[in-house]
Chains A and B, each alone.
Chain A
Amino acid sequence: MYDHLETAENPENLKRVVIDPVTRVEGHGKVTLLLDDDDHVRQARLHIVEFRGFERFIQGRPYWELPVLVQRLCGICPVSHHLAAAKAIDQVVGVDRLTPAAEKLRRLMHFGQFLQSHALHFFHLATPDLLLGFDSPAGRRNIFEVLKEYPDVGLEGVRMRKYGQEVIRVISGKRIHGSAAVPGGMNKALTCEERDFLRQDIDQVLGWCRNALALIRRIYLANREHHERFGLIHSNFMGLIRDDGAFEIYHGGLRAKDASGRTIFDKLDYRGYTGILREEVRSWSYMKFPYIEALGKENGWYRVGPLARINNCDFIPTPLAEEARQDFLAQGAGGPVHGSLAFHWARMIETLHCAESIRELLDDPELLGTDLVVHGERRPEGIGVIEAPRGTLFHHYQVDENDLVTRANLIVSTTQNNQAMNESIRQVAAEYLDGQTITEGLLNHIEVAIRAYDPCLSCATHALGRMPLVVELTNAGGRMLDRLHRRADGTVSR
């Protein structure tokens, strides 16, 4: 693999090239490359540069605030955090099973979010690379140019995203940061009028999803060898799975497979995640590096998200997406598909599944039920796990007798792809940049590899940041008594 490029032996003698900020991703990250005199890459790192500290500052908040509070981790997939927190809080109020209407409304909202988030990523963020070229001029690589050059494609993307956002709005009152899930259920039933409003367009949306899938398939296969090799790494995969092995995004057990497709574990109750996963801290990123403990730090890292879910499941329970899954897996010649750019293809299979599932749900009479909340006996702890658009999302809370949060742990999807994204950019650096004169177009290759994972660096910054640069000690009158200065190299002076 490429892990020898994580840390150079003599960084002080190397040239530094930086991509800052990484663009067309959600959130704040940068890439640093260290090159020797002959332009050989000696080190490549994706740094997550922001830190917010949710785990600490939600301590002391009442548990019922959590779904609306923690969704502010992320404006792209707020529904993920809203629902993962809600599932954890269901447990805190002693509820293991929601009413059918409440669960179906949550699922509908979740499918809506997958649709909007995947459409946003594919069309607004990724198609500038995929349709205009990795090397096209930086000034052209954006959605506006795609809308100009490929107006039909761009507009369908805009409308797919719009539909997903409308599903969310109808259920939660707002497209972004609405309010829907409450402890043990949902806060509002769906009316016939709202259901019919969403029904109007779903067939058309389904058609757009099929077009999007056909588009990425065509792009991928048009230059198959290059697309398979680009950012290619081999990894374990992890995600939720339904009891019967079906593709599942709202509730299920944990399954992990190794690079050859052999099962590492299956149908694990996610409430036991602390016995399975650990998160390593490295000094150069605020994003931690999770791994499967039983396999150890070196070999236990894994990928989550669309590629993991499609590789891991036994089948997809809607016909068009299942057909697409089988077609896709034929690329892997019997084993999992590993190419990083295959994420895009897997993502569009999921989008199609979401549209199919939304149509099914809108025809389900139970969706309009008005019995929405269940009550139970208070428990001190809750763990909620779902598949977010970018992968498995863990929310874990402990709550005291005054209903206040005492402890919180969040493992977000993007964090679990941290090692994989770093490995992928090292692959690209080694295979495409090494020994070359670095150009803007080549640097975009690095970003293309990162974008394949659709990282949400907003989510990944939930942990907080670095020590202040200057510490001043002043007396009550404001006169400075002492001053400590920490330099960039970490040394401290007075």
Chain B
Amino acid sequence: MAEKLTIATTSLAGCFGCHMSFLDIDERILALAEVARFDRSPLTDIKHCRDRVDLGLVEGGVCNAENVHTLREFRRHCRILVAVGACAINGGLPTLRNPIALEECLQEAYRDGIGVENPQIPDDVELPLLLDKVHPIHEVVRVDYSLPGCPPSADVIWAFLSDLAAGGEPSLPRELIHYD
């Protein structure tokens, strides 16, 4: 049998909806397990990419220093890197904070919010530094493919993975391409 395709996934500044859409392949997960093996992913307990990975699926944009770090780890380890969904491609809904000063957002949540006790901005060393804007991932690393949608449907993800697993150049039929 041919070597299995290795896949890593991560969610940066996203909502996990793209990961859920991936699981919406439903029973096809069995067929996938025949041809693919999962490396680093929130669905496994592998916390960092082990060696080379064929395919990296990235959900979410980049909002803090840790996202940058994770994204670079993915680019280093993954032969093919895919921006999955609106947030990875364009920054998506979290970019609604971009026109607003970061400090104002923090003030609202942790100082001026309704029912806030002990108002202070969390600043422990264990918390990753926030970027002043949310960025799409292509501003940080080279991206090989983008799968549009919020989230891309399971059928889109399946068509893409099937083409890759078969060794071909992925192409999406027009009716599968949605941006909502």
Q: Which residues of A approach B to under 8 Å, CB–CB? A: 19-21, 23-28, 30, 32, 45, 47, 49-53, 55-59, 69, 72-76, 78, 120, 124-125, 128, 138-139, 141-144, 147-148, 155, 158-159, 161-162, 165, 174-177, 274, 277-286, 288, 297, 396, 407, 409, 444, 447, 456, 458, 463-469, 488-490
Known contacts: A55-B109, A176-B151. The answer to whether A465 contacts B120 by CB under 8 A is no
- A51 CA / B124 CA spacing, docked (Å): 14
- Chain B nearest Cβ from A186, distance in angstroms: 19
Nearest CB to that of A286 among chain B residues?
Answer: B122
- A274 CA / B109 CA spacing, docked (Å): 15
Chain A hits for B14, CB < 8 A: 75, 458
Q: Does B169 contact A (CB under 8 A)?
A: no
Q: Are A53 and B109 in contact (CB under 8 A)?
A: yes
Q: Are A23 and B47 in contact (CB under 8 A)?
A: yes
Chain A hits for B153, CB < 8 A: 174-175
Q: Which stretch, B23-31, B140-148, B160-168, touches the partner chain A?
A: B23-31
- Chain B nearest Cβ from A28, distance in angstroms: 7
Q: Are B120 and A281 in contact (CB under 8 A)?
A: yes
Q: Are B97 and A281 in contact (CB under 8 A)?
A: no
Nearest CB to that of A456 among chain B residues?
Answer: B16
Q: Does B139 contact A (CB under 8 A)?
A: no
Q: Does B177 contact A (CB under 8 A)?
A: no
Q: Does B172 contact A (CB under 8 A)?
A: no
- A59 CA / B30 CA spacing, docked (Å): 44
A-B contact pairs, 20 of them (CB 8 A): A32-B126, A47-B124, A47-B126, A50-B128, A59-B108, A72-B150, A75-B151, A138-B45, A155-B30, A161-B23, A162-B27, A176-B21, A282-B118, A283-B122, A407-B114, A465-B127, A466-B121, A466-B127, A466-B129, A467-B130
Q: Does B175 contact A (CB under 8 A)?
A: no
Chain A hits for B106, CB < 8 A: 51, 53, 464-467
Contact residue among A23, A55, A283 (Cβ-Cβ distance under 8 Å from B120): A283
Q: Are B97 and A53 in contact (CB under 8 A)?
A: yes
Q: Are B115 and A279 in contact (CB under 8 A)?
A: yes
Q: Are B42 and A75 in contact (CB under 8 A)?
A: no
- Nearest 6 interchain pairs by C-beta: A75-B17, A465-B130, A463-B109, A53-B105, A464-B105, A284-B124
Q: Does B13 contact A (CB under 8 A)?
A: yes
Q: B65, B110, B113, B132: which has the most chain A beta carbons within 10 Å?
A: B113
Q: Are B17 and A24 in contact (CB under 8 A)?
A: no
Q: How many residues on chain B are close to A (CB under 8 Å)?
A: 68
Contact residue among A45, A176, A277 (Cβ-Cβ distance under 8 Å from B20): A176
Q: Are A463 and B16 in contact (CB under 8 A)?
A: no
- Chain A nearest Cβ from B29, distance in angstroms: 6
Q: Are B122 and A142 in contact (CB under 8 A)?
A: no
Given contacts A49-B64, A49-B128, A444-B45, 17 further A-B contacts (CB under 8 A): A23-B46, A57-B105, A74-B15, A75-B19, A125-B43, A139-B44, A159-B26, A174-B153, A176-B17, A279-B116, A281-B110, A283-B120, A283-B123, A284-B124, A458-B16, A463-B109, A468-B102
Q: Are A274 and B126 in contact (CB under 8 A)?
A: no
Q: Are B118 and A28 in contact (CB under 8 A)?
A: no
Nearest CB to that of A30 among chain B residues?
Answer: B126
Chain A hits for B128, CB < 8 A: 49-50, 465-466
Q: How many A-B residue pairs have CB under 8 A?
A: 243
Chain A hits for B100, CB < 8 A: 53, 56-57
Q: Are A50 and B13 in contact (CB under 8 A)?
A: yes
Q: Which of B82-108 contact A (CB under 8 A)?
A: 92-94, 96-97, 100, 102-106, 108
- Chain A nearest Cβ from B87, distance in angstroms: 9
Chain B hits for A161, CB < 8 A: 23, 26
Chain A hits for B27, CB < 8 A: 155, 158-159, 162
- Chain B nearest Cβ from A414, distance in angstroms: 12
Chain B hits for A58, CB < 8 A: 96
Q: Are A467 and B102 in contact (CB under 8 A)?
A: yes
Chain A hits for B124, CB < 8 A: 47, 283-285
Q: Mark B21-56, 1 if CB is under 8 A from A, else 0.
A: 101101101100100001001111111000000000
Known contacts: A75-B20, A124-B43. The answer to whether A277 contacts B115 by CB under 8 A is yes
- A74 CA / B14 CA spacing, docked (Å): 8
Nearest CB to that of A136 among chain B residues?
Answer: B45
Q: A74, A75, A138: which has the most chain B beta carbons within 10 Å?
A: A75
Chain A hits for B19, CB < 8 A: 75
Q: Are A120 and B63 in contact (CB under 8 A)?
A: no
Q: Are B129 and A78 in contact (CB under 8 A)?
A: no
Known contacts: A75-B18, A158-B26. The answer to whether A148 contacts B93 by CB under 8 A is no
Known contacts: A23-B45, A283-B120, A469-B65. The answer to whether A464 contacts B38 by CB under 8 A is no
Q: Does B125 contact A (CB under 8 A)?
A: yes
Chain B hits for A28, CB < 8 A: 11, 66
Q: Are A51 and B130 in contact (CB under 8 A)?
A: yes
- A467 CA / B130 CA spacing, docked (Å): 6
Q: Are A409 and B130 in contact (CB under 8 A)?
A: no
Q: Are A53 and B108 in contact (CB under 8 A)?
A: yes
Chain A hits for B30, CB < 8 A: 147, 155
Q: Are B16 and A468 in contact (CB under 8 A)?
A: no
Chain B hits for A283, CB < 8 A: 120, 122-124
- A143 CA / B66 CA spacing, docked (Å): 26
Q: Are A25 and B42 in contact (CB under 8 A)?
A: yes
- A76 CA / B19 CA spacing, docked (Å): 9
Chain B hits for A456, CB < 8 A: 16
Q: Are B109 and A69 in contact (CB under 8 A)?
A: no
Nearest CB to that of A398 among chain B residues?
Answer: B114
- A274 CA / B115 CA spacing, docked (Å): 6
Chain A hits for B113, CB < 8 A: 55, 279, 409
Chain A hits for B180, CB < 8 A: 174, 177
Q: Are A24 and B117 in contact (CB under 8 A)?
A: no
- Chain A nearest Cβ from B140, distance in angstroms: 16
Q: B19, B102, B131: which has the most chain A beta carbons within 10 Å?
A: B102
